[in-house]
Structure 1
Amino acid sequence: MDPGLDEEFAEFVNGRFTALQRFGYLLTGEWHLAEDLVQTSLTKVWFHRKSLRSGNALESYTRTVMVNTSTQWWRRKWKGETPTETLPEPAAPSEFGTVDDRDQLLRALATLPRRTRAALVLRFFEDLPDAEIAKVMGCSVGTVKSTVSRGLAKLREHHLLTETNSPTPAPRPTGGLTCDR
C-alpha cells in the first residue's frame, strides 16, 4: 500500500463527497440510491487509484464510474414495476413555486434516457465543458452536443414543464441552461 495514494484518495473523498452525492442524486433521482451509487463507485475507484496519472483524473474517473454504474443498475432493474395509482398534486401556494419548479424539472429529467440525463446533468448541473463530458461518457464531443440538444428539446416539450399543467410559469432553460457554448 502506498500511504501517499491512500491519503490523496481520503482527501478527495472528504473534499468532494457532497458534490458526488449531489451528482448521484441527479443521476438516480433518489437520495438513498445516490448514497449507494457514490459508495459503490468510490469502492471501484479505490481499487484502480494506482493506475490514475494525476489527482485531477480521480474526479473525472469517479464521475465516469458513477455514470456507468448508474446505467448498469438501471438495466438490471425489473421493468414490470409500475405504480398502481397516481395521487393528484394539490395546487401549491406561490411561495413554494420555486420548489415546485425544481421538483417538476427533476421529474421531467427522470423521464429522459440515462445517457441523455447524464449528459444534461454533467453539462448544466456540474458545469463541465463538452470535451470533459465526452471523456466521462466515452463518446465524441459531437455526440455530447447532439445528446444535450435533443435532451433540452425533450425537456422543453415535456408535459410537466408546460405552463398549462403547472400552477407557476414553466421553467425555461435560462442562465446555466443554454446551448451557447
Structure 2
Amino acid sequence: MADREFDEFVRSRSAALLRVAYLLTGDRHAAEDLLQEVLEQMYVRWRRIRGGPDAYARRILVNRSINRWRRRGRRPEAALGDIEVGLPDHSDGVVVRDAVIGALRGLPPRQRAVVVLRYLEDLPVDEVAAALDCSAGTVKSNAARGLDKLRAVLGPILVKEGD
C-alpha cells in the first residue's frame, strides 16, 4: 500500500519538484541529483512523513540545496577537461530565462529558496516559512531583499526585452 502511494506521489509530483530543484540549483544535472537524493530519503521515511509529502519534499530540497552550496564553497570544483559547449540559442525567451536563472544563482541560498518557493511555486508565506523552518517575517524580509537584488540585476535586461 505504502509503495503504491509513494509511486503515485513520484509520478504526480516529480516534474514540479524537479522545477523547484532546478531553480534552487541553477543546473539541470545538479537538480536531477538533488531530487533523486530527496526521493530516496522520502522513500525510506514514507510511512513517517507527516503534514503532507509536498511540504516535506520542498523542505528537504531547500535544505539539501543549501548544504550543497556550502560544500561547494568549501571545496573548489575540478575542471572536467575538454567538453563541447553548445552554441547559445538567441531567442528572446531563452535569453530572459538564462538571465533569471543567473540572477537567482547570485542570491544567497536562503533568499533564493524564498523567492523560488514564494513567487515561482506560488506558495503562501506560511507554507514557505514552514518549509524553511523560520518565521513569516523572515520570509517576507528575505523575499523583499531577494526581489530588490533581482530587480537590480534584471532591470536592464527586462527593459531591453520590453522595447
TM-score normalized by structure 1? 0.77
Query: Residues of 1 paired with 2:53 and 2:6: CA distance?
Result: 8
Q: Alpha carbons of 1:49 and 1:107: their partners in 2 closer, same or farther (altered >3 Å)?
A: same
Which one has the largest radius of gyration? 1
Query: Which residue in 2 is equivalent to 1:129?
Result: 124
Write the letter of the residue equivalent to 2:104.
L
Residue equivalent to 1:67: 62
Contact 1:64 1:137 survives alignment (8 Å) = yes
Misfit runs of 4+, over 3 Å: 78-83
CA distance in 2, matches of 1:65, 1:53: 13
CA RMSD of aligned residues (A): 2.4
**What is the 5 A alignment of 1:97-136?**
97-136=92-131
What is the alpha-carbon distance in structure 1 between the residues aligned to residue 6 and residue 27 of structure 2?
26
Mapped partners of 1:139, 1:107: distance in 2: 26
Question: Aligned to 1:49, which of 46, 51, 60?
Answer: 46
Give % identity: 43
Matched residue, 1:156? 151
**Distance apart, 1:9 and its partner CA:** 0.8
* 2:114/2:139 contact within 8 Å kept: yes
Give the drift of 1:136: 0.4
How many residue pairs get matched? 153
Q: Do the aligned partners of residues 82 and 26 (structure 1) sit closer, same or farther apart at CA in structure 2, a change above 3 Å counting?
A: same
> Is the 8 Å Cα contact of residues 27 and 70 (structure 1) preserved in structure 2?
yes
- Shift of residue 110, structure 1, vs aligned partner: 0.6
Query: Quick one: distance in 1 between partners of 2:155 and 2:105?
Result: 16
More displaced, 45-54 or 146-155? 45-54
Matches of 2:37 and 2:108 in 1, distance apart?
22
**AA in 1 matched with 2:97:** R
CA distance in 1, matches of 2:78, 2:142: 27
Aligned equivalents of 2:66 and 2:99: distance in 1? 22
Structure 2: runs of 5 or more not aligned: 80-88
Task: Give distance in 1, aligned partners of 2:113 and 2:14.
Answer: 18
Alpha-carbon distance in structure 2 between the residues aligned to 1:82 and 1:155: 29
What one-letter code is carried by the residue in structure 1 that aligns with 2:100?
L
The gaps in structure 1 that reach 5 residues or longer are: 84-91, 172-181
| Deviation for aligned residue 1:102 | 1.6
**Highest RCO, 1 vs 2 (Cα 8 Å, sep ≥ 6):** 2
1:167 and 1:141 mapped to 2: Cα distance? 29
TM-score normalised per structure 2: 0.85
Deviation per residue, 1:71-94 (Å, 9 max, x gap): 1111111454599xxxxxxxx86x
Contact persistence 1:45–1:65 (CA under 8 A): no
